[in-house]
Chains A and B, each alone.
Chain A
Amino acid sequence: MKLELSKVVQGCRLGVLIGIGKTGQHSLELPGCLLYTRCATVPHLTQDTLHTLTYLPAGAQVALDGLAEHHEVLEEFKEGVRKFAGLHDTALFCSLHDPATNCPTGHVTNKTVSVWGSGGRIEMTAARFIAMQAVIQPDCYQSMADGETWQTNTSRKRVHKAVNRTLAHLDECLTLHHKTPQLKHTEVFGVVEGGDILEERVRSARETAKRPVAGFVLDGFQSAAMEQELRGQLITAVTAELPVEKPRMLQGVGRPDEVIACVEAGVDLFEGFFPFQVTERGCALCFDYNVTPDPEAAALSPPTVLELNGERPAVEDPKQNDVGNTGTMTQFEINLKDIRYREDFRPLVEGCGCYCCKNHHRAYVHHLLVTSELLAGVLLMLHNTAHYLGFFRALREAISHERLQDFKTTVTKVDFGGRKQLH
C-alpha cells in the first residue's frame, strides 16, 4: 500500500492510495470514503441493485460487530469474507465497530475489547482478534483499540489508560499478525486515541507513528461525541505528528460539512455510513455540491428555503434494521415522509443519475415510506449512496481546481468568501 500525494491545498491532501490488495490491484482516490456494509452487504442492496451505481469506491468496510459471531463459519469457509459474501472485487477494510450502531460501553478491560453481534456481546483478546482477522482476510484492518473515551466527563486518567491500552494492543496485534500466514497480504492501521485531551492525542499519535503500520485510524472523534471545532483542532494536532506518506482514516464522522472540515485538518479517508443513516430516517440527500459560476447551470437543485426551514425533525420510527441511532435530520436532506411530497412527481434530485432518480419520483418514494414498503430502503440507499459519492468526487475536484472556498459555501450554505456569492 502506498500513498501518492498529488497536491496539498489549505491542509487538504489530494492523492491516491495504491497497491491495496493481494495483488495490489486496488486503488482509492483520496479524500474518499469506504462503502459501508453490514455483514459485507451494502444495506438493502443485492449485488445487481448495488451495481446500478456507477462510481463505486474501490474500498468497502466491514466491522467485527457484524462478523464476530460468524467466526466458525468463516473458519470453515477458509476463503475470507469477501468471497463468502459474494461481494464484488473491492478492497476490504475491517474496523472494530459498526459506525452506525451505538454499542453499549463499559466492557473494555486491559486485555480485551467487546463487539456486539445479533446474539449479544462477544469478548476478544488480541489473540482472538487476530484469529478473526485471519478468517475475515481483509486487505486492511484497524488494530484492536480502547476507544471508550467519548462519553462526557471521561476522566483524564481513563483517557490516559485508553491510550496505553491501545498501544499495548497494537504491539501485541502486530506480533501476532506477522505469525499469521493468512494475513500475509493484509495491512494494519494503528489507532490514535486520546479523547478530548490534547496532550494525550499528541502522545498517542507520536507513539503509534513509531510502530510499523501502514496507516492510521483516528478514533474517539465520532460526530455524536465532539463538537466540530474541538475536533478540528485535535485532528490538526494529531495529523501534524503523523507521517505525511501514510493515510489517515477518521471514524464516525460523515456529515458533509464535518467531512470538509476534517479534510482540512488532514484526514484522507472516511467511513461511508452517513447515506445509510439518512436512508433509515426516510430521508434523501439533496444538498448541492456543484461548484459552477452560474447556479442556473448547476445540475443539482438545492433544497428551497421552504424545505430547509419547514422540515420537522426525523421521525423516530423503528425500522427494519436495528440501527440504534439514525440521528436527527440535517440540512443536507429532505424528509420524504412529509406530506408535501405526496404529489411531487420530480426525481429526488434533478439531474441525479442514480437508479431511483432515473426511474421514480418523490411521490412514489413518499408512498413507499408511508406504507412501510421495503422498496423505500432500496431506492433511498441507492440515491443517498450515489449522492454522497458524488459529493466526495466533487470535493476532490474542488481541491484539485483550488475552488475549496466556493465548494464549502455551496455545500454548507455559509459564506466562506470564495468567488461564489450566496443569494
Chain B
Amino acid sequence: GLSLGKKGAVLRDPRDSECPVSKARACVLKLPHGAVNTPVFMPVGTQGTLKGVTVAQLEELGCQICLGNTYHLGMRPGPELIEKANGLHGFMNWKRNLLTDSGGFQMVSLVELSEVTEEGVMFRSPYDGREILLTPEQSIAIQNSLGSDIIMQLDDVVSSTVTGPRVEEAMRRSIRWLDRCAAANKNPHRQNLFAIIQGGLNAELRKACLDEMTKRDVPGFAIGGLSGGEEKDDFWKMVTLSTDHLPRGKPRYLMGVGYAVDLVVCVALGCDMFDCVFPTRTARFGSALVPWGSLQLKQKQYAKDFQPIDPECQCATCKRHSRAYLHALFKSDTAAMHHITVHNICYQLTLMRSVRDSIIEQRFPEFVRSFMKRMFPSSEQYPSWAEDALASVNITLD
C-alpha cells in the first residue's frame, strides 16, 4: 500500500493515466484493504454506519473506500472498544478501505469551541459537559485504534471566511501538528497519514504551507480549509494553486466536496479523492441525484410519476421502484430513505467511474462538455466560476 517514504505511490501503475489537456488524472491507489480507483468519491459513514445501508449493499455498489469520523467514534463507542472489536473494520464489518478524519473539523463546527492552543483543541463534550483536550497525539492514537487505512493529521481549522492573522497562525500550527502526528503514528506501514494543506483563501499563505508540507514525506495530501461557504471564485483558485504545487506522484484529497459539478471541475484541476455528506444526507430528505440535477421526490408532482428516478441508472432502486412509489413510501416507512441513499451513492460512484474512464480513454474534455450540457438547460446557465476554472486548464465549454 501507500507507505511513508514511498515516493510517488500513484501514476506508476500501467493503468494510470493523465489527461493531456487538463490536470486530470486517473490512478490506482494500493491500500491495505484493496485497490481504490481514482478519481474517487468516498461516501461518509460518520458513526461506523452508512445511514441505513448495509455493508453488503455498499460492497455491491462498488464502493472501495468510505469515511468514518474520529470525533464521533471517539466519543461513542470509544477507541478502546473499537480496538477490542478488531478496529473499525471489525466493528462495522467493512472489508474494504476506510479513511478517518482527525476530529478537528467537528470540534470546531459542532461543539462549543473553548480554545485552541499549541497543545491542542480544548472543547466541551456534548454528552457530559466535560472539558476534553484533543491533541495531535491523541487524534492519531484514536485513529491508530480505529485502524483506518488512511488517517488525517489534526489540523488547526479556521473557517474559509475568516481573515487576518488567525489564518496564518492556524496554517503554521498545522505544519507543526503534522510533524507531531507523524511522530505519533504507531502504524506508518498500514495507516497512511495524509497532510492537510491550509492557508485559507490567501495565496501566499497557501503557497507557504505547500512549500513546507511537501518537504515532509507523507503518502498523500489533502486540500483543507475550503468548501466552507467561501465564494466559488476563490475556492477554485485555491484548489488549482494547491494541485500546482503538490507532487505529481501522490494522491490529492479535496475535503468536503461532493456536488457533481464541483467534483468534475476539481478533477479537471488535478484532484483525486473527494468526500461529502451531501449525497447521503440529501437522500434522507427525499432528494434523488440525477445527471440533470435532482428530484425532490416528496413533492406532489411525483405522486403519479411511474418512471424510475433515472431510467438509465443501474442501481437496485431504479431497477425496481418508481418515483411514484418512493413518493408514497416516504409517508410510511424509513425504507424510502434507504432506497434514495442507495441510488445517490450509485449516482456518485457512477459519475466518478465515468470520469475515470474518460480520462483513461483520453476523452475527458469531451466528457466534461457533455456532462455540463446534461446538467444545465442552456449554456447561459453554466456557473461562471466553473467555466473559468475549466478554461484555466484548457477545457472550453461551447
Residues of A at the B interface (CB closer than 8 Å) are: 38-39, 41-49, 52, 66, 69-70, 72-73, 76-77, 84-86, 117-118, 320-321, 342-343, 345, 355, 359-361, 363-364, 367-368, 370-371, 373-375, 377-379
Tell me whether A363 and B77 are in contact (CB under 8 A): yes
Tell me whether A363 and B81 are in contact (CB under 8 A): yes
Tell me whether A48 and B316 are in contact (CB under 8 A): yes
What are 28 A-B contacts defined by CB distance under 8 Å? A39-B328, A39-B333, A43-B335, A46-B338, A47-B316, A49-B57, A72-B303, A73-B304, A84-B325, A84-B328, A86-B322, A118-B332, A321-B332, A342-B77, A343-B84, A345-B84, A355-B54, A355-B56, A360-B93, A363-B91, A364-B92, A368-B47, A368-B49, A371-B76, A374-B52, A374-B334, A375-B52, A377-B334
Tell me whether B335 and A44 are in contact (CB under 8 A): yes
Tell me whether A73 and B51 are in contact (CB under 8 A): no
B85 CB contacts on chain A under 8 angstroms: 345, 361, 363-364
B333 CB contacts on chain A under 8 angstroms: 38-39, 41, 43-44, 321
Count residues of B near A (Cβ-Cβ below 8 Å). Answer: 43
B49 CB contacts on chain A under 8 angstroms: 368, 373-375
Tell me whether B335 and A45 are in contact (CB under 8 A): yes
How far apart are the CA atoms of A343 and B81 in the complex, in Å? Answer: 7
B49 nearest CB across to chain A (Å): 4
Besides the known contacts A73-B303, A320-B334, A368-B49, 4 further A-B residue pairs in the complex with CB atoms under 8 A apart: A49-B338, A84-B322, A85-B325, A367-B48
B321 CB contacts on chain A under 8 angstroms: 85-86
How far apart are the CA atoms of A69 and B328 in the complex, in Å? Answer: 9
A322 nearest CB across to chain B (Å): 9
| B339 at the binding interface (Cβ < 8 Å) | yes
CB nearest to B339 among chain A residues? A46
Tell me whether B332 and A66 are in contact (CB under 8 A): yes
Tell me whether A41 and B332 are in contact (CB under 8 A): yes
B51 CB contacts on chain A under 8 angstroms: 373-375
Q: Which of B48, B92, B333, B342 has the most CB of A within 10 A?
A: B333
The 3 closest A-B pairs by CB, nearest first: A374-B52, A39-B332, A118-B331
B2 nearest CB across to chain A (Å): 28
How far apart are the CA atoms of A86 and B317 in the complex, in Å? Answer: 10
How far apart are the CA atoms of A335 and B49 in the complex, in Å? Answer: 20
Tell me whether B334 and A359 are in contact (CB under 8 A): no
Tell me whether A359 and B93 are in contact (CB under 8 A): yes
B315 nearest CB across to chain A (Å): 10
Q: Taking A86-B320, A373-B49 as contacts, is the C-beta distance between A41 and B81 under 8 angstroms?
A: no
Contact with A along B72-92 (1 / 0, CB 8 A): 100011000100110000011
Tell me whether A46 and B335 are in contact (CB under 8 A): yes
| B55 at the binding interface (Cβ < 8 Å) | yes
B329 CB contacts on chain A under 8 angstroms: 39, 41, 85
Partner of B56, one of A72, A359, A368: A359
B91 CB contacts on chain A under 8 angstroms: 363-364, 367
A46 CB contacts on chain B under 8 angstroms: 57, 316-317, 335, 338-339, 342
A73 CB contacts on chain B under 8 angstroms: 303-304, 324, 328
Tell me whether A41 and B77 are in contact (CB under 8 A): no
Contact with A along B90-116 (1 / 0, CB 8 A): 011100000000000000000000000
B325 CB contacts on chain A under 8 angstroms: 84-86
A66 CB contacts on chain B under 8 angstroms: 332
B83 nearest CB across to chain A (Å): 11
Tell me whether A52 and B76 are in contact (CB under 8 A): no
CB nearest to A52 among chain B residues? B56
B239 CB contacts on chain A under 8 angstroms: none
CB nearest to A373 among chain B residues? B49
CB nearest to A375 among chain B residues? B49
A320 CB contacts on chain B under 8 angstroms: 334
Tell me whether B316 and A378 are in contact (CB under 8 A): no
Partner of B338, one of A44, A359, A379: A44
Contact with A along B34-62 (1 / 0, CB 8 A): 00000000000001111111111100100
